[in-house]
Amino acid sequence: MQQAEKLSKLNIFLENVKVKDKNFHLRLGANFPIISDLYHKLYSNSPYKEEAFESLLASLVKNFEERSALQKKRDMTRVSSPNWYSSEKIVGMMLYVDLFNIDFNGLKEKIPYLLDLGINTVHLMPFLDVPEFENDGGYAVRNYREVNPKFGTMEEFEALVKEFQKNDLNLVMDFVLNHCADQHEWAVEGRKGHPKYKDFFYFFPDRNLPNEYEKTMLDIFPDTAPGNFTYLPENNQWVMTLFYGYQWDLNYKNPMVLVEMIDTMLFWSNKGIDIFRFDAVAYMWKEIGKFNQNLPEVHSLLQLFKLCGQIVAPGVAYIAEAIVAPEEIIKYFGEDLAQGDECDIAYNANFMALSWEALATKSTNLLKKSMKAVPTKPRNTTWINYARCHDDIGLGFDDKLVSEMGLSSLQHRLYILKHYCDGFNGSFGLGQRFMIEHETGNARISGSMSSLCGFERAVKENNEKEIQLAIKRINLQHAIILSLGGLPMIYSGDEVALPNNYEYLNDETKKYDNRWLHRSKMDWNLVENKDVPESPQGQVYRKLKKMIAIRKQTNAFADSNDLRYVDYENSHLLIFKKTDNKGESVYVIANFSEYDTFFERSIFGDLNPNKFYDLLTETNIDIQERNFISAYDVLWLK
């Protein structure tokens, strides 16, 4: 279609929109030319392009009309404070509905628990309808419009949302958009050759094209689901499945898929979702001969999701789950003219992995070097800072930076693996290797925060000194994610040092995936210890609760792209400075080793301070030429 023809079609459409809301029209007018442009660039050759585009427009109008007055009011509040998701006030927790407390009602009952800790943002792991056994922890959706009946009914979900809103809790939905379950109706019909749904997936009659694709594709689960295609014997064809064989990649080259998924997202926006976590986004577009991560089309797709979302539900924010190299992650915030049009939040995966590297090596050198190499992100975007999540820890360090430090990147990774998985050299961790690459021995790491920090081993060995060190490591990890600036995301259970869970080995449907090692059922008996100050649970919970409260009072801990790392030769220490918009700074000094050590006054440069107030111990500290900091201690100096 010619540009002029496109514009006039667009104008006709805009004029005919019956919605009266002035703001809706303003947003439509502002976003629509970009949407149209992005869309037509992606789909100029698609036979479905006209039909799908019309459906997309209709979906925006329909979903806006269906959006409740309450949601629209919430949108306006959000729009007037665009940094709500990067403020010091925001603190998140991620949890599985069933593992946390059985179902939606159970979760609702535990709202006071979340509030007590200071949580105001909850990332629910996938809660939609999935096949009973093969579902990758919810990441294989069978029906995008139904909740998992094990968790309750849609009415119960809605009641939960209502209660969340009453308590100012933001709800994050895991939106699994790269693939769906092989039992989804689209997949069931598509494999039979349904005229519409056969193009919702990548089907192939033989291995010719799959073999070509494979040449540049990453193998995500090489141990348990090798290859990126699954053979369907009943139809004698192959289908693209990057993750497990039962997770079928949706074909975003077909605009009907995009429109269905945008419509689905808007449906959930209207149910009251505050933040969408876009799952596995890096893989959304695939091309023969090109590496199958981070293709430019992925960014166009995400911009389409966000721009459409903003028209209907402008108060909603978007997280990119892209666990890729930092210079690629940063692009998910939108580059150049697209800044602000893509995701608002991304995972600080590199920092997370390097924090474990630093604990293993007792050196923060690689962490500091890597963080300094991260390009500045756009304004009004932020990181999820986290120490553990439901996935493995991938040691995705930048090989170039590792070798600049005189280390072999493979040997360095193997060392970290031995440290966390083999108890090597007196190490404290009780983790396990996930997805071993047999040629190199390289792998990722599974294990709970508490077990990786040495708590489980120390308890088994009844070693009080080690128990105390493990608690300090957990508290250090929490102190860091709370002070880096961004959205700190606590992994449910870590607040009471929940150890690894080996029960998954008795479950046929889980035992092949050791990420279940750190997906423990919440132990509410253990939680009772949180009120016993000297118990390990008490020491972790109470410290975390206190740190959260302090964070919320400390404007410097908001993210305004102000994080500065301080150069310092003592490699045990990580030192950074956060500054608020009035110019007040907080220095965070963390000792990543079990040694007591020192820092010098000179780290503060021209400030040359005599005194600081430590927010954590609530005491004044006289700053000397050399200042003592004990094993795994963290100071928040104001």
- Of 131-139, 211-219, 223-231, 335-343, the window that binds ligand GLC (rule: CB under 6 A) is 131-139
Name the minimum Å distance from CB 320 to ligand GLC.
11
- Please pick, from the candidates 88, 98, 129, 136, the single residue that binds ligand GLC as defined by CB under 6 A: 136
Q: List alpha helices for 502-605, DSSP H.
A: 524-527, 536-553
Q: Where are the alpha helices (DSSP H) in 215-279?
A: 255-270
Judged on CB neighbours under 10 Å (0-12, 13-18, 19+), 527 is: middle
The verdict on whether 279 is a catalytic residue reads yes
Q: What's the first-to-final CA gap in the chain, in angstroms? A: 60
Of 28-36, 136-144, 289-297, 419-427, the window that binds ligand GLC (rule: CB under 6 A) is 136-144
Q: Shortest approach of ligand GLC to residue 280 CB, angstroms?
A: 4
CA distance 445 to 433: 5
Q: Identify whether the C-beta of residue 476 lies closer than 8 Å to the C-beta of residue 539.
A: no
**Which one of 32, 39, 84, 139 is in contact with ligand GLC (CB under 6 A)?**
139
SS3 334: coil
Out of 130, 239, 258, 280, the residue judged to bind ligand GLC by CB under 6 A: 280
The 8-class DSSP code of residue 594 comes to S
Minimum CB distance to ligand GLC, residue 285 (Å): 16
> Cβ 270 to ligand GLC, closest distance in Å?
24
Q: How far apart are CA 441 and CA 466, in angstroms?
A: 29
Specify the residue, 279 or 594, whose C-beta has the smaller distance to ligand GLC.
279
The label of the residue with tokens 């030769």 reads 569
Among 219, 391, 399, 580, binds ligand GLC (CB under 6 A): 391
Question: Of the listed pieces 12-20, 135-143, 485-493, 529-537, which binds ligand GLC according to CB under 6 A?
Answer: 135-143
* SS3 of residue 289 by DSSP: coil
- Token pair 């040694």 is found at 595
Helix H or strand E segment including 434: strand 432-434
Q: Which of residues 563-592 bind ligand GLC (CB under 6 A)?
A: none
| Interface of this chain with ligand GLC, residues 300 to 359, rule: CB under 6 A | 321
Residue nearest to ligand GLC (CB): 139
Contact 346, 384 (CB under 8 A): yes
CB of 14: closest distance to ligand GLC in angstroms? 37
Reported as half-sphere exposure (CB side, CA atoms, 13 A), residue 376 has a value of 10
Q: Work out whether 386 is an interface residue with ligand GLC (CB under 6 A).
A: no
Strand, helix or coil for residue 175: strand
Q: How far is CA 322 from CA 246, 280, 330, 343, 390, in A?
A: 21, 6, 10, 11, 15
- Distant-in-sequence, close-in-space partners of 283: CB < 8 Å, separation ≥ 6: 178, 242, 249, 292, 293, 298
Tokens describing residue 88: 């010091």
Binding characters for ligand GLC, 152-191, by CB under 6 A (x = yes) = ------------------------x---------------
Q: In this structure, what token pair is assigned to residue 565?
A: 């790392």
CB of 171 to ligand GLC, least distance (A): 18
Under the binding rule (CB under 6 A), the answer on residue 243 touching ligand GLC is yes
The nearer residue to ligand GLC, 107 or 389, going by C-beta atoms, is 389
Shortest Cβ 220–ligand GLC spacing (Å): 8
| Plot region of 21 (φ>0 → left; ψ -120 to 50 → alpha; else → beta) | beta
Q: Is 283 in the site for ligand GLC (CB under 6 A)?
A: no
Q: Which stretch binds ligand GLC (CB under 6 A): 134-142, 419-427, 579-587, 595-603?
A: 134-142
CB-based contact 173:266 (threshold 8 Å): no
Q: Which amino acid is at 266?
A: L
Give the nearer residue to ligand GLC in terms of CB position, either 390 or 444. 390
Q: How far is the CB of 244 from ligand GLC (least distance, A)?
A: 8
Residue 389: which of 442, 420, 351, 360 has the closest Cα? 351
**Tokens 């919970």 belong to which residue?**
541
Count of residues in contact with ligand GLC, rule CB under 6 A = 10
* Shortest distance, position 344 Cβ to ligand GLC, whole Å: 18
Compare residues 249 and 456 and give the one whose CB is closer to ligand GLC: 249
* Region of 50-58, 133-141, 227-235, 628-636 interacting with ligand GLC (CB under 6 A): 133-141
Active-site choice (103, 279, 398, 456): 279
**Smallest separation (angstroms) from ligand GLC to the CB of 349:** 10
- In the complex, the smallest distance separating the C-beta of residue 333 from ligand GLC, rounded to whole angstroms, is 19
Among residues 347, 450, 284, which one has the least CA distance to residue 92? 347
CA distance 27 to 307: 9
User: Alpha-carbon distance 203 to 239, whole Å?
Assistant: 5
Residue that has been written with the tokens 């449907």 in this structure: 509
Give, in order, the Cα–Cα distances in Å from 283 to each of 219, 287, 348, 466.
Answer: 12, 10, 18, 42
Q: CA 340, CA 329: separation in Å to the nearest integer? A: 14
Q: Report H helices in 220-277.
A: 255-270
124: enclosing H helix or E strand: strand 121-124
The alpha carbon torsion through 390, 391, 397, 399 (nearest 10 deg) reads: 180
The least CB distance from residue 318 to ligand GLC, in Å, is 15
Candidates 321, 398, 456, 494; catalytic one: 321
Q: Strand 611-614's sheet: what is its strand order?
A: 564-565, 573-579, 585-591, 634-637, 611-614, 619-622
CA-to-CA separations, 293 to 174, 183, 202, 442, in angstroms, rounded: 20, 26, 17, 20
Residues that bind ligand GLC (CB under 6 A): 136-137, 139, 176, 243, 279-280, 321, 390-391
Q: Which residues are catalytic?
A: 279, 321
